[in-house]
């Protein structure tokens, strides 16, 4: 759950915010006319786009173009909270900032990335520290300062080791595309996303997603995904020494008893007995 949220607005739109979140927590976001830069100051998270699944740790960040996303904020034994800074890159505000000098990164170039992970760098850490200062001293913030901070972020990102990738992503931040059904399924087949969440990532309504899915895979989403997970579990039981619980989570099930029940229904043996029977051979 979100424990605390502070934000600064520009043109009646949130442009910079600081979030303190109690983990574990799953957050879904739809960015229709904006991109978003997310920096993890504390905690761990997994960002899921239609075509990417990115693990983001402390001092790392991710740049998301407009689209649909889910973030799993992870709890561990040391840290039970996640602190995130978000800078929202609204297309109309960027165009206002650059006026007649629209930089190349706003112009589409046909690249297809939805999200890009950005490794920790000193310049980005210092930038976030400067934002933290303004959250502690909000009376110092005005529209001109917010505009400068947005432009500063863009310039800093283009100076990182990921500059080439950032440029390619920036180049189509504001040209939304719908991921193909196959792309979404291949990326998240072994995630623990629900069918409704997969539909959201694909940019479809639930009914349209189910219809398109059945036309493409000749099966219902629930049954196809279940069968693929069990097939992978079967392979992992024979070819690895992962525990049953590790395999359960690796293939995208969240409950070992439910996994065991489904596995036995398909293979007539529990996962443990199935492994023993094949090892003996």
Task: Indicate the domain borders of the chain.
Answer: 2-170, 181-280
Q: Using one digit for the tens of pLDDT, what is the confidence trace for 158-189?
A: 777 666 666 665 665 555 556 688 888 988 88
Q: What is the pLDDT of residue 117?
A: 80
Chain position carrying tokens 């980005």: 124
Whether residue 210 contacts residue 222, with contact meaning beta carbons closer than 8 Å, is answered with no
Residue 101 confidence (pLDDT) above 80: no
Confidence grade of residue 256 (pLDDT, cut at 50, 70, 90): very high
Residue scoring higher pLDDT (210 or 95):
210
Between the alpha carbon of residue 69 and those of residues 45, 51, 61, 224, the distances in Å are 13, 10, 15, 23
Question: Are 114 and 67 spatial neighbours (Cβ–Cβ below 8 Å)?
Answer: yes
| Mean pLDDT across the chain | 83
pLDDT on residue 172: 57
pLDDT: is 90 or 174 the higher one?
A: 90
262 pLDDT band, cuts 50/70/90, is very high
Q: What is the largest CA-CA distance in the chain?
A: 73
Q: What is the dihedral of CA 202, 206, 209, 210, to 10 degrees?
A: 150
Q: Say yes or no to pLDDT of 221 above 60.
A: yes
Token readout for 139 is 């009376």
Please confirm whether the linkage preceding 24 is cis (ω < 30° from 0).
Answer: yes
How large is the average pLDDT for residues 215-233? Answer: 93
Identify the weakest region by mean pLDDT among 22-26, 62-66, 230-234.
Answer: 62-66
Most confident of the following: 34-38, 138-142, 169-173: 138-142
Assess whether the region 2-170 and the region 181-280 belong to the same CATH fold.
Answer: no
Poorest-confidence range of 60-69, 167-176, 244-253?
Answer: 167-176
Q: Are 72 and 48 in contact (CB under 8 A)?
A: yes
What superfamily does domain 181-280 belong to in CATH? Homeodomain-like (1.10.10.60)
Task: Write down the pLDDT at residue 76.
Answer: 63
Question: Considering only 18-32, 103-117, 243-257, which range has the smallest mean pLDDT?
Answer: 103-117
| CATH number of this structure's domain 2-170 | 2.60.120.810
Task: Give me the helices (H) in the chain, please.
Answer: 91-98, 122-136, 143-157, 163-170, 181-188, 195-202, 206-217, 221-239, 244-250, 256-267, 271-280
Give the residue with greater pLDDT, 106 vs 37: 37
Return the pLDDT at 138: 94
pLDDT recorded at residue 164? 66
- 75: exposed, middle or buried (C-beta count within 10 Å: 0-12, 13-18, 19+)? middle
Which residues share a beta bridge with 37? Answer: 63, 87
Is the model's pLDDT at 251 over the cut of 60?
yes
Residue 62 and residue 84: Cα distance in Å, rounded?
11
Q: Which of 224, 232, 233, 221 is nearest to 260 (CA)?
A: 233
pLDDT: is 253 or 278 the higher one?
A: 253
């Amino acid at each position: 759950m979100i424990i605390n949220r502070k934000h600064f607005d520009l043109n009646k739109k949130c442009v910079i915010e600081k979030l303190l979140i109690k983990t574990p927590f799953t957050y879904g976001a739809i960015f229709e006319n904006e991109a978003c830069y997310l920096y993890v100051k504390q905690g761990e998270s997994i960002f899921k786009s239609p075509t990417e699944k990115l693990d983001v740790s402390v001092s790392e960040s991710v740049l998301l173009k407009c689209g649909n996303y889910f973030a799993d904020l992870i709890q561990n034994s040391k840290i039970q909270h996640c602190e995130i800074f978000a800078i929202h890159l609204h297309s109309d505000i960027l165009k206002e900032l650059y006026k007649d000098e629209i930089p190349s990164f706003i112009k589409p170039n046909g690249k297809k990335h939805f999200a890009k992970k950005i490794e920790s760098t000193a310049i980005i850490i210092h930038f976030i520290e400067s934002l933290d200062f303004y959250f502690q001293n909000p009376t110092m913030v005005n529209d001109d300062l917010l505009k400068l901070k947005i432009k500063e972020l863009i310039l800093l990102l283009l100076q990182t080791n990921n500059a080439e990738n950032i440029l390619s992503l920036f180049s189509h931040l504001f040209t939304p595309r719908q991921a193909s059904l196959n792309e979404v399924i291949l990326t998240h087949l072994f995630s623990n996303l629900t069918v409704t969440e997969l539909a959201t990532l694909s940019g479809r309504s639930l009914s349209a997603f189910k219809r398109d899915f059945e036309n493409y895979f000749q099966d219902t989403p629930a049954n196809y995904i279940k069968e693929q997970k069990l097939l992978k579990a079967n392979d992992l039981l024979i070819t690895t020494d992962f525990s049953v619980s590790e395999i359960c989570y690796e293939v995208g099930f969240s409950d070992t008893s439910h996994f065991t029940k489904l596995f036995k229904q398909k293979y007539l043996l529990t996962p443990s007995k199935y492994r023993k029977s094949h090892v003996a051979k």
